[in-house]
Amino acid sequence: PVTLIGLLKTARLLRLVRVARKLGKYSEYGAAVLMLLMATFALIAHWLACVWYAIGNLERPILPQPIGWLDQLADQATLQKKRLTIGTIDQYITALYFTFSSLTSVGFGNVAPTTNMEKVFSICVMLIGSLMYASIFGNVSAIIQRLYSGTARYHTQMLRVREFIRFHQIPNPLRQRLEEYFQHAWSYTNGIDMNLVLKGFPECLQADICLHLNRNLLRNCPAFKEASPGCLRTLSMKFKSTHVPPGDILVHRGDILSALYFVARGSIEILKEDTVLAILGKDDTFGEIPCVHETVGKSKCNVRALTYCDLHKIQRDDLLETLEMYPGFSEYFVKNLEITFDLRDEELSFNVPLISRVRRANQTRNRPSLAVNRPRRLVSIATDWACPTQPAQARSITEAAAPGIEAGRSRSPREPPP
């Protein structure tokens, strides 16, 4: 029999509120929210079914005539199954059926209230059902839309890419490469722009996030073993991640080597006139050591991706700036940095225009020197061109052009040539 003390014990179920609070962190997942709402609806229906059974059981001995819902259920069981008693399971299922039909505003009427207390309880159930129907099932459409929000964003971005291709009349091979790269990049990043996400956080938190994202590189590369925590945080802020599809050329022959590359995933081949010189893989490095050369070098080979590759790259100026901030680490970095393939071409790197050499000389003059074993510092462009270590070809060009220049300067504009 149901007693008042037994009903009061059901208050212990309010502990489920704590569970609901812990489940709040999963509210961003639409499927979890939908399951939680359905479980809440079933739990409330269970509680109301217990109250509905308690009302019928309490009123049954005091009613002048057997008109309660339990008596009607007994009459139906007697007529259908030729038995005089009904089991507890039949009573609970019938009560749960009544509460579900009332909460969902269906109400077939085969289980109906007959006494005043049952009718009052039915009115309360209808009011609760209307609120629950509006709050729970009214949000089902929004939850389902949230489940497919990623797919909707993907189709929206893909439509923009195709409109861009159509508007600019991109040729078919390049169009196919664009679509394949977009599809693979979306599946790899889920459409999340890491740079845009990092901008919303303070700089100290950005450094921690970048340190976590570049942890494998900083841990596996021998050149970063002795770096201080502050140096690692600064370097991690300078690194940029690049995702490259197969067939794309990262560096062309003659390009300025403005960055140092570290391979995190995939395979890369080094080509020179259709000849494969090397194939690089995970934890390999290519580029040039910026601390050894005063001028920016040029590439002597083409670098092409064989598979989908993830690269970490750091700009030359950013690396030099960091090494100047940590002079003690710079010496260790230069000694332990292992370049798997040096792309610098000495001939192409030396034939730099005069204006570029003047700009680099001014930048070098205004920038403090690194505490590493580097070649002589470029003091001025005049001393550099007059240096005896200058190649003979460059000196001969300068000496050959000098008489003509001096003659042009001494000649008056009105004076005819001799």
* Alpha carbon distance 280, 342 (integer Å): 12
Region of poorest pLDDT, from 101-110, 241-250, 334-343: 101-110
Better-scored residue on pLDDT, 389 or 341: 341
What DSSP character marks residue 62?
A: T
* Alpha carbon distance 379, 357 (integer Å): 12
Region of poorest pLDDT, from 26-35, 198-207, 266-275, 371-380: 371-380
Please name the residue ranges forming H helices in 345-414. Answer: 346-350, 354-366, 381-386, 392-410
Q: pLDDT for 75-107, tens place per residue?
A: 666 544 444 456 778 788 888 888 888 888 776
Report the interhelical angle of 30-59 vs 88-103 (nearest 10°).
120
**Average pLDDT value for residue range 31-38:** 76
Q: What is the DSSP string of 4-46?
A: HHHHHGGGGGGGHHHHHHHGGGGTTSHHHHHHHHHHHHHHHHH
**Average pLDDT value for residue range 13-27:** 62
Kindly report the three-state secondary structure assignment for every residue of 245-283. Answer: CCCCEEECCCCECCEEEEEEECCEEEEECCEEEEEECCC
What DSSP character marks residue 139?
A: G
**DSSP helix/strand/coil, 400:** helix
* pLDDT confidence bin for 108, thresholds 50/70/90: low
* pLDDT confidence bin for 69, thresholds 50/70/90: confident
Task: Give pLDDT, residue 10.
Answer: 64
- Give Cβ neighbours of residue 270 (< 8 Å, ≥ 6 apart): 276, 277, 278, 279, 280, 286, 301, 302, 303, 341, 343
* Residue among 315, 406, 323, 312 nearest 372 (CA): 323
Domains of the chain from N-terminus onward: 7-145 (1.10.287.70), 199-360 (2.60.120.10)
Percent of the chain with pLDDT over 70: 71
Task: Give pLDDT, residue 101.
Answer: 85
Region of poorest pLDDT, from 102-111, 140-149, 376-385, 397-406: 376-385
* pLDDT confidence bin for 129, thresholds 50/70/90: confident
On whether the pTM is more than 0.85, the answer is no
Radius of gyration of the chain (CA): 39
* Alpha carbon distance 201, 209 (integer Å): 10
Q: Find residue 286's DSSP bridge partners.
A: 261, 341
Q: pLDDT for 155-184, tens place per residue?
A: 899 999 999 999 999 999 889 888 888 888
